[in-house]
Amino acid sequence: MNVQGLEFPDTLRYAPEHSLWLREEADGSVTLGLTAYGCALYGQIFAFTPKRVGARIERDRSFGVVEFAKAASSARCPLSGTLLAVNEALLKRPGLINQDCYGEGWMVRLQPEMWAAVRDAFPLGEAAQPAIAERMRLDNFDPANAHVQALQWK
């Protein structure tokens, strides 16, 4: 799926208000990462400092800090759970998030609480398009703006 020139894989779930994607894993865990839109908003990422493995993360609380050009921001979790894994590669190469946000640039893996009860709050693939487009509208996103460092795949 493509929204304003940015790619959003149809196989993932989305939390548009957090600019995150979610992937359900076979073991019941959920992997999270920054969407192409999140990368466009942050620009070049210089560091990612996650919480420690084993930490309990509450919904809308930070699972780590993302540092970019002239600021830093807490990466807020769209669901509650226990942090099972962090992408260790990002500690040395945080730019992987910008280079491959849907693959090698994944950020953390959680064991979600009550996943069955909350999973439908995160639309899958094309079903997320209206919410993503609305988030972009609310943010006054302009992909033609020279300051946007968007991941635009052909």
Give the chain's domains with CATH numbers.
13-115 (2.40.50.100)
Helix (H) or strand (E) holding 89: helix 89-92
Question: Is this structure's pTM higher than 0.85?
Answer: yes
- The per-residue pLDDT for range 41-54, each reduced to its tens digit, is 888 999 999 999 99
Measuring CA to CA, which residue among 105, 86, 89 is closest to residue 151?
105
Rounded Cα distance, 103 and 42, in Å: 18
Q: Are 84 and 29 in contact (CB under 8 A)?
A: yes
State how far the alpha carbon of 29 is from the alpha carbons of 23, 115, 145, in Å. Answer: 8, 9, 37
- The per-residue pLDDT for range 102-153, each reduced to its tens digit, is 999 999 999 999 999 999 999 999 999 999 999 999 988 887 765 554 443 3
Rounded Cα distance, 42 and 97, in Å: 11
